[in-house]
A and B are shown apart, each in its own frame.
Chain A
Amino acid sequence: MSQHYPALIVIVPLLAAFIISVAGWINKKLCFPIAVAAVTVSTGSSIGLLFRVMNEGVVHYRLGGWLPPWGIAYYVDQLNALVLCVVTVAALLNLIAAKKSIEQEFPERIGPFYTLYVLFVTGMVGITVTGDAFNLYVLLEIASITGYALIAMGDKDRAPLASLNYLYMGTIGACFYLLGVGYLYIATGSLNMVDIARILPDLYQSKAVLGAFIICMVGVWIKMAFFPLHGWLPNAYTFAPSASSSLIAPLMTKVMIYVMIRLILTVFTPKFAFATLAISDSIVWLACIAIVMGAIFALAQRDLKKMLTYIIVAEVGYMVGGAWLGNRAGMTGAILHIMNDALMTLCAFLVVGNIVYKVKGYAFDNLKGLFAKMPFTMGAFVIAALSFIGVPPTCGFFSKWYLISGAIQAGHYGFMVALIFSSLVNVVLFFRIIEIGYYEPFSDHHGHDHPAEPMAEAPLTMLVPLYIVAAGLILVGLYTGNIVNHIIRFVIPGSFV
């Protein structure tokens, strides 16, 4: 059993998708338990796989027993084992939290929703687990297409357009990636990542390889919404139904960051990416711009969900910059932040889900008096906010620690300033929300007998997942040392200082 973990992670949700779509016709009530069961199996397998990788080292898995480079090989090291756990755990928690909200938002389309949901998860875990560059593209398309559909189910007026916009941009991004893989295939004759890495060193001077790398990177950047290629993201994530946005927002961009790091570390190797190309400095500057612009755009928003989407744009800058600093601390920070940012984005979007469920809106005006109305939801929101700001002991502090350390060691003080700037802007952003929820509406008296709003908290099935994530933000922060020493350390090549 345990040797089939890599396959189980992908195949179980894939099959479940078909079963759910059939079950949806028979009885809508069946969909939810099947989806939960499938994602739970996937989650269990990911966790099992992580432990196996930690004990035994890299796991190679041949799908159907075909040998690479012809067959599809799954390649699992500490990096994607970690990302797999994050993806599946986040998907599972969100699935449980989503039940009530989709029953409220579109009761007639429960079947399709769960089908798309597990298919999206299939795509995400597939991208992460695979060791085949072309297979990655296929799964990327699965994830993207289901993602477009999940987003289009939202706001009737604006979601379809936002989704279409995303579809155009996303398709261009995926095509770029495919084109890059094509060049690579021409140059090396292989699609297996490890195989490509073995063949490439002789071809470092080749223009085709250079082209492949740049095209792949641009494709991945579009998919991860790296500024200024982020145009599709804010509207798509804002107008999506809350259950979809809390699935896609934490995972899509982070998995694409993983792909970028995988391309740098495994496929093209750090020697090519940092030494031969020598463009890392400019990319870090681009990341600085992404961080600053993301923060500024976020400041301009007047609703919570859209503000969070711009924060994602800024956070993407954190990870791209960290990865391209080209040193140990920076790369550690970027990988750590994949996990941390996924968790804190999930936490924030689950909060939005709860608010929408109760208040039917996420504009700033809807948030008035929310601390009295939904104290538990807002409590979790404060924890997420602290993590975004980077207050210890939440995990956001520790990834920021590594990222800033990396910036200092690389002598890239611009990146350090950008990170500090974004932390400060996050203070303003989140405390503005907290102020609205805490003070408004103002009472006439001098505060002494504040009218107590009746409590109207979200149901327990939404609160429990939310609090698991919120506790995770603190626990992951406290155990950062262990995560770095036992998992991330092995991912980073020895050539990094």
Chain B
Amino acid sequence: MDPILRRKPPSEAEEDLNAIRKGRDLSFQDLVSIGQVTSDDLVLLYEVARRFRDYKTYKFSFNKGVSQVNAFFEPSTRTSSSFDLAAKQLSMDTAGVSSNSSVQKGESYLDTIQTIDAYNVKAIIIRSKEAGVPEVAARYTQACIVNAGDGWHEHPTQALLDGLTMLDHVGGYSLKGRVVTIVGDIMHSRVFGSLVRLLRTLQAEIRIAAPLTLIPKDVERFGAKWYGDVNQALAGADVVYALRVQSERGANGFIPTLREYSKMFGISRKRLDLAKKDAILMHPGPVIRDIDVHSALAAVDEQSYILRQVENGMAVRKSLLWLLCDRADGKTKTFTRK
């Protein structure tokens, strides 16, 4: 960390962030879909996130006295630790609920979430293997619900961090005229679900490349163009976004072998060179080295922004949690119980 920032007294650091925020609030109180995020929301989230990023692990007291529960009903490494650290760096108290909880004893998701909500926590971060759990839960909680990935549906904070990474690369708040090529298991990817919606908002040219067995019906209505030949899809791209072929989601059987997939669609040095000279390579992780991305490109190549994405994830989540839990207008949610 920048030693000058680290030693900054809390009052000054927080004043610094407040000066950037300028009393602004987000248009939403739960984040269940990236579709809720307006252009103004994006600017606010990113301006604040960039400043948080400068402060790295500096502990702010913005959210002191409020709590967060990380309800991860499906295993997660980076998303859960990132949300947890982000909350702690805002002085929140956090607790974790894992997949081996009451849900496995037969309690419904809704009952589990309403129970957590009765702790009067301010934020509940939900990861579920079923689509729609966060969106439905948000109707029945006083706490802000943040979708940390639901089934094949969406993973909005991943898209937010990806958007920040791309905008840092191109500058400004638009991807107009830029080509983003997404390669991999589109059908079973919640990362794609949020990213494609955000890219549309940012006006990027969206290309997708995968075998048709991994392309969901009517996907072109998101404004994405399908390519069976990955080389064509990569030509002239500004961003190359590789998705994991997700075997644990039943993707097996959609392709003959990982070997053949890797040969047809894996991002190699040679393929990356088809994109623009300064194109960046992104991946939401976990990377299956030598299947979706050639090992030599994964972490060390200067074009690889994969670890930068992770760093941006921390900053974006911190920005989101501050803006959601510490509203300038003091607005609270309306909800019912079921």
A and B together in one complex: no
Q: Residues of B at under 8 Å CB distance from A?
A: none
